[in-house]
A and B are shown apart, each in its own frame.
Chain A
Amino acid sequence: MINISVLLIFIPVVVSILIYLFKWKHMNLIAFASQLLITILAVIYYNEFSANFEMTHIVLGGWDERIGISLANDNLSMSFIFLSIFSWWMVMLYTFKWGKTEHTFLFFLMFLQGVFLGLLQSNDLFNLFVFLELATIIVAILIAYKKKGESFRSAIYYLMLNVPAMLIFLTGIIFVYYTYGSINIFALTEEFRDVDDTIILRFSYVLMMAGISVKAALFPVFSWLPKAHGVAQSPISALLSGLIVKGGVYLFFRMNFLYEGAGFAYSDFFFFIGAMTALVGVMFALSQKDMKQILAFHTVSQVGIIMMGVSSADEEIFFGGILHTFNHALFKSLLFLGAGIIISVYRTKKVSEIRGVMKTMPVVSVLMIVGMLSITGAPFFNGFISKSIIMYGFADQGVRYWALYIVNIGTATSFVKMSQIFFGPKTLSYPLKNKAQNITLMFFALGCVMLGNFYIPFTEGFFGIPFDDITVASLSNIFDYFLTLSIAFVFYKFVIAKDYLPVRTVRNTQISFENGNLLFLIYIVAMLMYFIII
């Protein structure tokens, strides 16, 4: 029973190799069968897990904890495991065709699932590094999967920016190992509780955080994200921005729990980085014309909002940030998959050329509208809940509150712009060929609505934090939303639609490769200045 954690990692890996070996055309049914097996195992494990504390920690090989590799689970990682299994179900359903299996694609996809589930559970620093590198390589191959010119250049840009960041993470591990003799996270957390404050400790913290920030696409180093999303296939984009980027945020929490005993004051610095990420992301998103680029920049800005929530020392805002992680995974995947369907029917990516979606594909448009309402934070949808919690936490701290407010206005403006695609006459006919894709959209939309209304049992069940003492659905919050929406509408009409010169310059700025790495170095030095000198 306790070995289920290992099975969760290895069943997708072994099944993926079998899919690659046997070229039978109904092989994707085997993939679904294994996915069902994993879901059942995860549910069994969760039931045993909450009752029995020993289930959470397993040392592979039965060796001493400080020498062997161990896997550990807690509430946070269990919730991420369920989110990942759900997302992979949806992606497999979206790309399912009866009687035709793309073997190589399923091979990489299932292997990535095994690696990601391992990343969530691993309790050993070097093992985390191996899983991170493996995930980077598989994602680079999946970005280049379509084999067009732009796929290759985005893939090499992604690889050349992420691999040095991983090597910096490894340098951080080096210092920790030589100072404390072990690279097991539980053993190190115990050690750090009564540690002296030395420069080497801070240096290793800075190095590890710098590596993780590139993975999580934070402010100076997010330039790989829009390039990668613009060219990948829609299900890969949905997976990448719904889940793999969140892997970076998950590691951010883990590293902060590890260094908790050392007592660094990281919350101001990372709030600032989060705010900059959110603002810069929204600014770029407003200036783009390509639908997938807009969504990609919104991912950057929502990760900024998550970082604003997660970096605070207050427990409730922290859980607001985690809740926003889940909500964002749901509605961003919904938007990307819906955008994929729309783009494949209209054969163009520019928002200005797509019109009449409501009349051509009514089901898809309704579901997309659900997604748009969620991301802008409409009441009764899940974005409202998490954004209100984070804003409630900052209600009496002037600058932070207004930063979040401005980001919300920007998000709403950009989706007002995107909602133009729904109006207009019917231009194309759309035979309902692929029901499976619509079903996946419906699942995500259902998730958004359910989390929007019944969030209390969910958060109590997984995190143990009752949120009912925060009055979320108060009239003032609802009024805030409509005010935001009207300001956004006005802003759009008079500023963005005219496509003034500043908007055009922002759209055409490209961060060249050497500047990307220069920004990474500047980021490391800024962190060194902050954590070591101040």
Chain B
Amino acid sequence: MSRQILLIVLLGVIFGVFTVSILELEELYNSFGKEYFLEYGAQQTGSNNLVTAILLDYRLFDSLFEAGILLIAVSGVIWISKHDIEEKNAKFMIDKYKTPDLFVTFSRLVYPLMLTFGFYVVINGHLSPGGGFQGGTIVATAILILYYIDADKETNIGLIVTVEKVVYLLVILVASLSIFTRGTFFTNFFELGASADQKAIYLVLLNVLIGIKVALGLWTIFTAFLKEGR
């Protein structure tokens, strides 16, 4: 009991300091970043969606490592879930119940729609809300529905992981092409003065590659978990 009280007191102090800071924030709010993006964002990067402009042009370096985190997590999950000899006595959950027919039928209807929607979100990342990361997740969810339809589906994890790593190397390559055309790394490889349509080629290409990579990564993680449970 004394422990709960101590916890609540500590959290209360932190909360109090936070509230005081928020009240101060009203006067101190600085909107330099927002005004810069509103003024220059679209013409410098060729994309109407300013969030994609930041992710794929101003802060491309961060996005590369974000895709890298997915890569590491996938490899880590696969390595950890590989069974060693010591564990042959562990009991696995056996998945024997059958999915209801209604669910299977609806999944068959929904699957192509989700896939198309996912591709739409990926390709239109620079004009409407969306982009590689978001669209890739939607495509991965669409593929996961297949597991509900057919509970015994076998996937070749090795092939998917290899393709994913090759796609990641391609992403780094496309991002680094700008060293030859503009003299600096990690930005659009068209010139600063090129038209918006030309810059959009780079954005769509990068979005598609990142979308493929994210979809494959999430698919692999889910398959590794399913294999663990069988």
List the interface of chain A (C-beta within 8 A of B).
3, 6, 10, 13-14, 17, 20-21, 58-64, 66-69, 104, 107-108, 111, 115, 118, 126-127, 130-131, 133-134, 137-138, 140-141, 144-145, 147-148, 152, 175, 177-182, 198-200, 203, 518, 521-522, 524-525, 528-529, 532
Contact = CB atoms under 8 A, between A and B. Distances in A.
B30 A180 contact: yes
Given A61-B185, A200-B25, A182 B32 contact: yes
A199 to B, nearest CB: 5
A131 B28 CA distance: 29
A153 to B, nearest CB: 13
A134 B65 contact: yes
Nearest to A69: B61
B117 interface: no
23 contacts: A3-B184, A6-B185, A6-B186, A20-B75, A61-B58, A61-B184, A63-B58, A63-B187, A64-B36, A66-B33, A67-B58, A69-B62, A107-B75, A134-B68, A138-B76, A147-B84, A181-B33, A199-B24, A200-B25, A521-B10, A521-B14, A528-B17, A532-B17
A133 B172 contact: no
Contact of A60 (B13, B25, B72, B184): B184
Given A61-B58, A69-B62, A126-B62, A175 B72 contact: no
Nearest to B33: A181
Contacts of B14: 521, 524-525, 528
Contacts of A3: 179, 184-185
A518 B8 CA distance: 11
Contacts of B65: 115, 118, 130-131, 134
Interface stretch (B135-143, B163-171, B195-203): B163-171
9 tightest Cβ-Cβ pairs between the two chains A and B: A181-B32, A61-B187, A181-B30, A141-B76, A200-B21, A62-B184, A521-B10, A60-B186, A69-B61
B5 interface: no
Interface in B167-190: 168-169, 172, 176, 178-179, 182-187
Given A62-B182, A528-B14, A203 B72 contact: no
A134 B169 CA distance: 18
Interface in B64-105: 65-66, 68-69, 71-73, 75-76, 79-80, 84, 86
A484 B218 CA distance: 58
Contacts of A145: 79
A68 B37 CA distance: 12
A203 B13 contact: no
Nearest to B166: A21
B98 to A, nearest CB: 33
B80 A144 contact: yes
A179 B28 contact: yes
Given A3-B179, A69-B62, A130-B66, A528 B25 contact: no
Interface of B: 3, 6-7, 10-11, 13-14, 17-18, 20-21, 24-25, 28-33, 36-37, 57-62, 65-66, 68-69, 71-73, 75-76, 79-80, 84, 86, 162, 165-166, 168-169, 172, 176, 178-179, 182-187
Question: In the complex, which of the residues A61, A62, A68, A131 has the most CB atoms of chain B within 10 Å of its own CB atom?
Answer: A61
Given A108-B75, A115-B65, 4 more contacts: A6-B186, A61-B187, A118-B65, A525-B10
Contacts of A118: 65
A60 B165 contact: no
A21 B72 contact: no
B3 A525 contact: no
A137 B76 contact: yes
A134 to B, nearest CB: 6
A141 B24 contact: no
A182 B33 contact: yes
Contacts of B178: 61
B36 to A, nearest CB: 6
Question: In the complex, which of the residues A6, A133, A148 has the most CB atoms of chain B within 10 Å of its own CB atom?
Answer: A6
A126 B62 CA distance: 8
B58 A178 contact: no
Contacts of B6: 518
Nearest to A112: B72
A182 to B, nearest CB: 6
Given A104-B75, A138-B72, A181 B165 contact: no
A198 B24 contact: yes
B214 to A, nearest CB: 16
A178 B30 contact: yes
B18 A203 contact: yes
Contacts of B86: 148
A27 B43 CA distance: 46
B173 to A, nearest CB: 9
Contact of A137 (B11, B29, B60, B73): B73
Contacts of B68: 13, 111, 134
Contacts of A108: 72, 75-76
A69 B58 CA distance: 7
A141 B186 contact: no
A511 to B, nearest CB: 14
A127 B62 contact: yes
B221 to A, nearest CB: 13
Contacts of B30: 178-181
B32 A60 contact: no
B183 to A, nearest CB: 8
Nearest to A171: B18
Question: In the complex, which of the residues B20, B28, B66, B172 has the most CB atoms of chain A within 10 Å of its own CB atom?
Answer: B28
A67 B76 contact: no
B201 to A, nearest CB: 18
A261 B86 CA distance: 57
Contact of B20 (A17, A62, A111, A199): A199
